[in-house]
Structure 1
Amino acid sequence: MKYVVVLGDGMADYPMPQLNNKTPLQCAKKPNIDFLAKHGETGMVKTIPDGIPPGSDAANLSVMGYNPKLYYTGRSPLEAISMQIELSESDVAFRCNLVTLSDEPSYSDKVMIDYSSDEISTEESAQLIEAVNHHLKTKDIVFYPGISYRHCMIWTNGPEGLNLTPPHDILERKITRYLPEGEYGRLLLDMMVESSAFLKDHAVNRDRIKRGLRPANSIWLWGEGKKPAIPEFHEKYGIKGSVISAVDLIKGIGLCAGLESVDVEGATGNIHTNFAGKAHAALKELESGRDFVYVHIEAPDECGHRYEIENKVKAIELIDEQVVKPLMDGMEKYDDYRILVLPDHPTPLSLRTHTPEPVPFILYQKSLKKPSAIIEGYDEFEAKKSGIFIEEGHTLMDKLIKG
């Protein structure tokens, strides 16, 4: 038996007036995913436990079979592990975004224009993080470059529980109410304010402005946590597998779980990612002897945050055409396989951030293919009609692997 998860990050949504009061999943032309829904088991699953923020960290932990209430320690340590940063027990990792803030003189009066600085290139951002390290590094605090706008700060003996705000949650809002508070929060805020002073005139940003691009004119710190202790996937389920993602967070969860992390050339984490390359890489992993592959596609989530309505529909269609169809065709040679398709959480276009509602899932098995109660296809409302509801999201993986 072969097992594949296709995780369309943030695919679930609310009806939109611009889409004739339909959701992107309802509007998207996705014949392959709809086929799975019509011949498999479709329902709703709650991936975010009550009391836990609806982030991709907790949601993907849940989908991968790990109860966030037991294993969630924060987003950034998972990303740090993916970046091959050695974390000690006393280290606290923070996500460090390079963001675009408006140009008001007072930092607290600025507006969050873009949490990704126009999806700044990795080459440019590496130079900016080098400057951040030069100005802000101490014996206890070090900054590490990542991919595009996503970077990491490690604080030895640093604080936890600071209630920091993700920048993608406050797009186009004045940042006054969302700045770090308290004794340790003040230290973080001082670093953010200081970064805005030297980043705005950096050569990289001057060049970006000349090219009509948004400058990465501040760091934004959030998502702190310590290294988690996650049981290995092989020990839990008795099979070996791989994770395929362009996002350090998902790679980090996979690595913590003992999965192989596979890089795909051209995988970006946005609408321009190498969709087909991810499907090809997944099939290659299965052919090499792996029994399980977790294929994560970030594009729908990014489109939700950026209010790109047409692109979110397009991203779902590309997942159907360039990921799901090749996977189904490529796995047909195996005696049997199961494929699980779902989002990790909703990222409603109207809100531009994550929400904790249950999401629709499809569980299809080749040998059990039969007409289901799903008539229209795969979307939030058809899945709810099935009456199938999984209260604890981390048990869905048990259903996939154990049947």
Structure 2
Amino acid sequence: MSKTVFLVADGMAGWPLDILGGRTSLQAASTPTLDLLAPKSRCGLCQTVPQGMPPGSDVANMSLLGYDPRTHHTGRGPIEAAAQGLTLDPNDLVWRMNLVRLTELAGDGVMEDYSSGHIDTATAAPLVARLATMAEGGPFQPVQGIQYRHLLVQRGGALTSAADLAIRPPHDILDQNIAQDLDAYASFPEMLEFMRSTHEYLRAETTSQATSIWPWGQGRPLTLPAFADRFGLRGAVVSAVDLVKGLGRAAGMDVLEVEGANGLIDTNYEGKVEAALNFLKHGDFVYLHVEAPDECGHMGDAELKKRAIELFDQRIVAPILAALAHEDATIVVTCDHFTPVVRRTHTEDAVPFLVYRTQTPRTDGPAVFNEDTAQGAGLFLKEGRDLLNFCLEPGA
């Protein structure tokens, strides 16, 4: 039976940079495997972020997995809660809770770092545990995640005005003033008071760069139609981040855990490939996600992002291609959204993709794979959720 693999380099696409000679990080990167596949592939652009929705990884990855975010998306927090298998009431409100570094929690405060210096899980765990103890008896329940990515469960919060708070993602406001967000928090005083108490504790701590929590992306618990029923495939996801794991778990897919997978440039690439290939011995579809290019884009580091793309090509795409070259397989390479280095956050640009079929390679694809050649190929999918079905059509 044919196998399908989505290889997703989060935030890989971007905009031209003077520091790279007018090239994007993808164009500047050495990607021999992608450039080998491009002439033999169907290439194009895909609009993963529906018009009017924020260009977040939650929206974009949901699209790539074949689900319409306009129908199913409730928020970033609920997706990551699904990854942890939290028991939730339909009226609970689930927030994504970053550990961040602020100059101060005040109107003239600035968001210095959305990740507290990419705090590691071992350092973050006791901090979140202490916050949970501080919250006992109140409406908020901090839940430990990984690194800087955690959750805040507000019991019954969907029935309160907190559900409507418009809080910007912290990675969207690096080096920016936080006054408008504090005004929004202040409209639900219980939240602002909780933030102030946690800020006092974290600021007094010296074990990390974290000075505050930042709750955002709130919503009711997530439910998705089963992936197997929807597409007739047994599928799995491989990722270091709870966002993708949560989408997979909510869709009834297997979630493949990989030791050493950390969402950064030094992730366990080989472990991800091994997990994907082992699953394909009995499964039909794998969604293999690599976070590193996105993190480098948020850091504003063009060279590091270029290197992350090169590692994706060398240690993900190349071994997957080698392992499946003589199988009946479809290999899809894409990203969820743009993360331009100059913006240090996501944009809603349509993303490049290639679709390579091992048994029926094409001869009319572009010479290399990047944002411009994908656009020049002339294929445009206006709905991101259509890419998976497009790839499952034999003649596409």
SS in 2 for 1:97: strand
More displaced stretch, 119-128 vs 317-326: 119-128
- 1:167-222 CA-to-partner distances (Å, cap 9, x unmatched) read 111111121223251665433222222211111122xxx244xxxxxx21111110
Aligned with residue 216 of structure 1, among 207, 210, 232? 210
Aligned equivalents of 1:125, 1:84: Cα separation in 2: 20
Pairing 1:270-349 to 2, within 5 Å after superposition: 270-287=264-281, 289-334=282-327, 336-349=328-341
Corresponding position: 1:3 with 2:12:
no
Matches within 5 A, 1:78-117: 78-102=79-103, 104=104, 107-117=106-116
Which residue matches 1:124?
123
| 1:398 aligns to 2:389 (yes or no) | yes
Separation of aligned partners in 1, 2:86 and 2:40: 44
Which secondary structure state, in structure 2, belongs to the residue aligned with residue 223 of structure 1?
strand
Q: Is the partner of 1:25 in helix, strand or coil? A: helix
CA distance in 2, matches of 1:255, 1:139: 29
Amino acid at match of 2:377: S
- Gapped regions of structure 2 (runs ≥ 5): none
Structure 1 unaligned regions, length at least 5: 209-214
Q: Which residue of 1 aligns with 2:374?
A: 383
Taking the aligned partners of 1:182 and 1:166, their CA distance within structure 2 comes to: 13
Q: Give the match's secondary structure for 2:303.
A: helix
Question: How many aligned residue pairs are there?
Answer: 389
Using the TM superposition, give the Cα deviation of residue 397 of structure 1 relative to its aligned residue in structure 2, in angstroms: 0.6
Structure 1 stretch 220-229 or stretch 38-47: which is displaced more?
Answer: 220-229
Whole-angstrom distance in 2 between the partners of 1:172 and 1:15: 22
Q: Is the 8 Å Cα contact of residues 162 and 180 (structure 1) preserved in structure 2?
A: no
Deviations along 1:278-318, one digit per CA (max 9) or x if unpaired, are: 1111111112x011100000000000001111110001100
Q: Is the 8 A contact 1:180 1:189 kept in 2?
A: no
SS at match of 2:359: helix
Change (3 A) 1:309 1:354: same
Query: Match for 2:257: what amino acid?
Result: D
Please give the alpha-carbon distance, in whole angstroms, between the structure 1 residues aligned to 2:349 and 2:53: 12
2:276 and 2:163 mapped to 1: Cα distance? 37
Name the CA shift for 1:277/1:316 in 2 (closer, same or farther; >3 Å): same
Letter in 1 for 2:373: E
Secondary structure at the counterpart of residue 343 of structure 2:
coil
Q: 1:275 deviation in Å?
A: 1.5
8 A Cα contact 2:166 2:181, kept in partner = no
Task: Name the residue aligned to 2:72.
Answer: 71
Whole-Å separation in 1 of the counterparts to 2:197 and 2:186? 17
- Post-superposition offset of 1:390: 0.4
Instruction: Give, in whole Å, the separation in 1 of the partners of 2:302 and 2:192.
Output: 34
The reply to whether residue 239 of structure 1 matches residue 233 of structure 2 is yes
1:134-149 residue pairs with structure 2 within 5 A? 134-149=133-148
Q: 1:88 deviation in Å?
A: 1.6
Structure-2 separation of matches of 1:186 and 1:308? 38
TM-score normalised per structure 1: 0.94
- Is the CA contact (8 Å cut-off) linking 2:335 and 2:351 kept in structure 1? yes
Deviation at 1:83, TM superposition (A): 1.5
When the two chains are superposed, the root-mean-square deviation of aligned CA atoms in Å is 1.4
Query: Residue type matched to 1:169 in 2?
Result: D
Percent identity of equivalent pairs: 40
Comparing 236-245 and 184-193, the one that deviates more: 184-193
Secondary structure of 1:200's counterpart equals helix
Kindly indicate whether the alpha-carbon contact (under 8 Å) linking 2:234 and 2:283 is maintained by their aligned counterparts in 1: yes
C-alpha contact 2:195 2:213 (8 A) present in aligned 1: yes
> Which one of the candidate residues 178, 183, 187 is aligned to 2:181?
178
For residue 360 of structure 1, what is the aligned residue in structure 2? Answer: 352
Q: Counterparts of 1:182 and 1:28 in 2: how far apart (Å)?
A: 42
SS of the residue corresponding to residue 375 of structure 2 reads: helix
Partner of 2:22: 21
Quick check: 1:116–1:149 contact (8 Å CA) kept in 2? yes
TM-score where L is the length of structure 2: 0.95
C-alpha distance in structure 1 between counterparts of 2:393 and 2:6, whole Å? 14
SS of 2:100's equivalent?
Answer: strand
In 2, are the aligned partners of 1:246 and 1:268 still within 8 Å (CA)? yes
What letter is aligned with 2:272? K
2:270 and 2:315 in contact (8 A); partners too: yes
Question: In 2 relative to 1, CA 42–157 (structure 1 residues): closer, same or farther, beyond 3 Å?
Answer: same
Matched, 1:262 2:256: yes
Q: Secondary structure of the equivalent of 2:237?
A: strand
